[in-house]
Structure 1
């Protein structure tokens, strides 16, 4: 672990022990996003921006639901190919976001 990460973690843990986070507004309530979903700044959210990963996740859910109801083998193959392509694009988007985050 990097020095600054360790230092930040130690300071956060010390602050928690001292009760610095006990009286925060909305403590104990659900977060306004799902775990694993990208957190988007409020200004982007209000402008209607949806991260590509979220769009691709929604598309995957729709394709999987479509696949579950499809009985025709040819159509199932087409849907499976689209699922594979969409999942690959989603993974590439996640990797790009991780690389961007590492750069700064």
Structure 2
């Protein structure tokens, strides 16, 4: 990954952890895909398909809320492990999407 991409990703993740995106218009609603959007085939758009990376981002948000509210040390450790694993899966999904897009899939 290029330096600026890594820097941008770190800043975005930091802002997400700080809650900078929590009150955006449309939060919690499906992404507004447009006809012909190359991200998702039209048949999947109309079926209510949610990309895996979006599902993982939502799970991360829920885990972070649970971590914030948890006081038990062992449960916090388990939540931190689950957050790390979920974040790794999110990163893999993003890399897969980028790879597929560059290959024209």
Give the TM-score range, shorter chain.
0.5 to 0.7
Supply the RMSD in Å over aligned alpha carbons: 2.3
So what's the TM-score if we normalise by structure 2?
0.60
Q: Report the counterpart of residue 49 of structure 1 in structure 2.
A: 49
Distance 1:39 1:100 in 2: 10
Q: Which blocks of at least 5 consecutive residues in structure 2 are unaligned?
A: 1-25
Counterpart for residue 60 of structure 1? 60
Q: Which runs of 5+ in 1 are unaligned?
A: 1-29
Deviates more, 1:81-90 or 1:45-54: 45-54
Cross-structure match for 1:26: none
Aligned counterparts of 1:46 and 1:84: Cα–Cα separation in 2: 32
- Alpha-carbon distance in 2 for matches of 1:40, 1:62: 25
Could you list the per-position Cα deviations for residues 7-29 of structure 1 after superposition, in whole angstroms to 9, with x for gaps in the alignment?
xxxxxxxxxxxxxxxxxxxxxxx
1:44 CA displacement = 1.5
Structure 2 CA distance, aligned partners of 1:62 and 1:42? 29
Tell me which structure has the larger Cα radius of gyration: 1
